[in-house]
Amino acid sequence: MRKIQFNTIGLDKKPKDCHVVVAMSGGVDSSTVAGMMKEEGYNVTGITLKLYDDGKTSSSPNSRQCCAGQDIMDAKRVSEKLNIDHKILYYQNKFKKDVIDNFVDGYIKGETPIPCVQCNQTVKFRDLYSYAKELKADALITGHYVDRLKVNGKVFMYRAKDLQRDQSYFLFNTTQEQLNFLRFPLGKLTKKETRKIANKLNLNVANKPDSQDICFVPNGDYASVIKKFKPSSFKKGDIVDLKGNKVGEHEGIINFTIGQRKGIKVSGEEAFYVLKINATKNQIVIGPKDALGVDNIFLKELNLFEDLSKCSNIFVKVRSTGKFLKAKINLENQNATVRLQSSETGVSPGQACVFYQKDELGDKVLGGGWISSTSN
C-alpha cells in the first residue's frame, strides 16, 4: 500500500500539482501567506475583494483600515512581485446588503453589531469560497490568525499561537464544510514572525501598519455611517433611570452602546453608564457601574462544531478581546442560555458569544451564537 505523503496544507499531492486561492487584502498577513505558498511551490491565485466605494482612488500608505483604496494596489504589487495570478472581485453590492445594511439596522435596533464576523460569514467564506470552488482550487488560504487541526479525521478550529492576534472569535460562524476547505498558515506563527518572513520575501507591505478600523467606518465614527444610510434614525428620546424616571434626553440611540459612559450628559453623585437600550421606546436606561453586570446571556442562530453535551471544561468569550469566562450552556434548538459563573459587564445584544474547550492541543472552538438579550 502506498504511504500517503501529505504536503504542508495537508493534501496528498505535490505542491506543484495543487492550485490554491489566497484571499489577499493588501495587508502584510495575507501577502505573507501568498508568498509562503509561492515559495513552497504551490500554484497560487491571489484574489482581492473590492467591498465598498469610499470615493477615493487611493488612501494613505499608513491607513489603518482594511480594504481601503491603497490596499487593492498593494495586493496587486505583491502579486506582480511573486509572479502569481491576481484577480479583483467587485463585491460592493453583496457587501452593502450583507454587512453594511446589517450594521446600520443593528444599531437602529439598539444592538452593537460585529461587521467583521458577518463579512467572514458572507462575502469571504460564502461568496469567495464558492468562487474558489469554481476555479477548482484545492484550498482557500487566508491570513487569519487561527489554527486548524485534524483530529481523528475531523477538522477543528483552535485559537492561534499568537493569542494577542487570535481571530477565532470572528470565525465562529464558519461551517464545517468551509473549514475543511480553508487553510490558515499563520495560526502557528506570531505577528513578529510573520513580518520577518515578509521582510525575507522583500514584500513592500512588510512594515505596513495593521488595520484597526472597520473598513467602511472612517476614523471609527460609526454614527456618520448610519447617518449616511439612514439619516432618519437620529431621533431624540428619553434617558431614564432603573426605576423608569426620566433624567435626561438623548439625540439618538445609535450614539450609545452598552457600558458607555461618555456622552450621557446626566449629572449625579456617581458616574452613570448605559445599562440598556430600548429601541421600541427610543430610550436609554442608565445606572451605576455595579448595575452593569449580567449573569445570563441568551443566544440565537447557533453554529456548533461539537455536541456540547459531550464536552467538559467549557469557557465562553463575549468580546474578541475579552477573557475566558466559565459558564454552563443550555441548548434549545438554535437558541441557548449561557449562565455565567461570575457576572460580566458590557455584554451587548448584537455581539457574539463564542464557546471554547481547553484540551491537550490548545483552546478548541466549539461554536457560538449571536447575543439576543441578557439578564441579571
For the annotated catalytic residues, the residue numbers are 119, 215
CA gap 283, 246 in Å, rounded? 9
CB within 8 A of 181, min separation 6: which ones?
129, 132, 133, 139, 140
CA gap 301, 15 in Å, rounded? 38
For residue 203, the SS3 value is: coil
Q: Does residue 367 come out as left (phi exceeding 0), alpha (psi in the -120 to 50 range) or beta?
A: left
CA gap 329, 345 in Å, rounded? 19
Pairing outcome for strands 283-287 and 325-332: unpaired
For residue 304, the SS3 value is: strand
Instruction: Please report which helix (H) or strand (E) contains residue 125, including its range.
Output: none
CB 13 within 8 A of CB 7: yes
- C-alpha cell of residue 338: 449561557
